[in-house]
Structure 1
């Protein structure tokens, strides 16, 4: 268990770094393009593409981090009124369907990356292999699938009432 916790924390740090780097690169590239265009009348030619790829990577990995922290698990008010065992079943069903969806998109993303590698496609402006930006899909969705599976197993081990209590406590701590 200690090794799994260590790996989980390492993954947290990696996800945070990817998001921070992606957003930072996106902001710097955009700023550079604006200054070059409006002050010097020039452009890098690749700044827009770099911004797009950096933000896409940050968004895909950031969405996975959001799944891990539970911010994507939305439970409507009416679902919370169900008896705790029914509530738990609905929550697990939602996590399961979401996990299957993200797993399917991960698989399709891997196929796209492999296809792009096989054809040698490059991006229009930066001329880097297309599989690099395309990899954001299987990486982000794969991480989402992993985090959804973690949430599913964790919630499966809890009672419906314990899940409801945890959600209420989280709302109170967040000020909702």
Structure 2
């Protein structure tokens, strides 16, 4: 059964992907029908892509959909396989913790320096916050998975 956290991730991913699709479609129509490109659509689409990538990685972690190196894990004992799975998730958590940390610093600096986007002149920190938000969600997923695997009995 899906919990609220699962649904939140999926809703964010669906909204981001829908917005990207609509904006890209509108920009194509504007370019070919009116011979005028809407520059702000590229800016929004690129920033939503960052968010979608991190949210998608979080969803993939929950669904066990990340690529693995089966040649290694298939040829070791179940106990070592479990240890490797926990280690892999803890390494992923470590990486995303660093990404979250530096993402917060980046967004804070964008806020402090009052940076604005080039096309829409919106505060850059709004889009910059997509990095620490997405990385934090992914961090939670890696930790959840490491804990879940560590509690499983070795088969």
The TM-score, its normalising length taken from structure 1, stands at 0.82
For the residues of structure 2 that align with 1:115 and 1:29, how far apart are their CA atoms? 28
What does residue 14 of structure 1 align with? Answer: 8
User: Are the aligned partners of 1:46 and 1:125 in contact in 2 as well (CA < 8 Å)?
Assistant: yes
Counterpart mapping for 1:40-119 below 5 A:
40-72=34-66, 74-119=68-113
For the residues of structure 1 that align with 2:41 and 2:115, how far apart are their CA atoms? 19
What does residue 34 of structure 1 align with? Answer: 28
Cα distance change, pair 71–146 in 1 and its aligned pair in 2 (3 A): same
Give the root-mean-square deviation of aligned CA atoms: 1.6
For the residues of structure 2 that align with 1:57 and 1:141, how far apart are their CA atoms? 9
What does residue 135 of structure 1 align with? Answer: 129
Residue segments in structure 1 that go unaligned for 5+ positions in a row: 162-176
User: Are the aligned partners of 1:109 and 1:134 in contact in 2 as well (CA < 8 Å)?
Assistant: yes
Q: How many residues align?
A: 155
For the residues of structure 2 that align with 1:47 and 1:96, how far apart are their CA atoms? 37
Pick which of 58-67 and 140-149 moved more.
58-67
For the residues of structure 1 that align with 2:58 and 2:72, how far apart are their CA atoms? 26
State the secondary structure of the residue aligned to 2:28. helix
CA drift of 1:80 comes to: 2.0
User: Are the aligned partners of 1:68 and 1:144 in contact in 2 as well (CA < 8 Å)?
Assistant: no
State the secondary structure of the residue aligned to 1:160. coil
For the residues of structure 2 that align with 1:89 and 1:44, how far apart are their CA atoms? 51
Residue segments in structure 2 that go unaligned for 5+ positions in a row: none
What does residue 158 of structure 1 align with? Answer: 152
Cα distance change, pair 106–64 in 1 and its aligned pair in 2 (3 A): same
